[in-house]
Copies of this chain bind each other. A is one copy, B any other.
Amino acid sequence: MKLTSKGRYAVMALVDLARFDTVNPVSLRDISLRQGISLDYLEQIFSKLKKNQIVKSTRGTQGGYVLSKKPDEIKLTNIFNAVDEKVKTVQCKKESKKGCNGKATKCVTHNLWDELETHINSFFEKKSLEDLLKNNSERIN
List the B residue with the shortest CB-CB distance to A122: B119
Which of A2, A36, A89, A108 has the most C-beta atoms of chain B within 10 angstroms of its own C-beta? A108
- How many copies of this protein are present in the complex? 2
Q: Is the interface of A mostly helix, strand, loop or mixed?
A: loop
Would you call A127 and B107 a contact (CB within 8 A)?
Answer: no
Interface size on A, residues (CB 8 A): 40
Which residues of the other chain, B, contact A103 by a CB distance below 8 angstroms?
36, 141
Would you call B89 and A3 a contact (CB within 8 A)?
Answer: yes
Would you call A90 and B3 a contact (CB within 8 A)?
Answer: yes
Give A residues with C-beta under 8 Å from B. 1-5, 7-8, 11-12, 15-16, 35-36, 76, 89-90, 92, 101-109, 111-113, 116, 119-120, 123, 127, 132, 135-136, 139-141
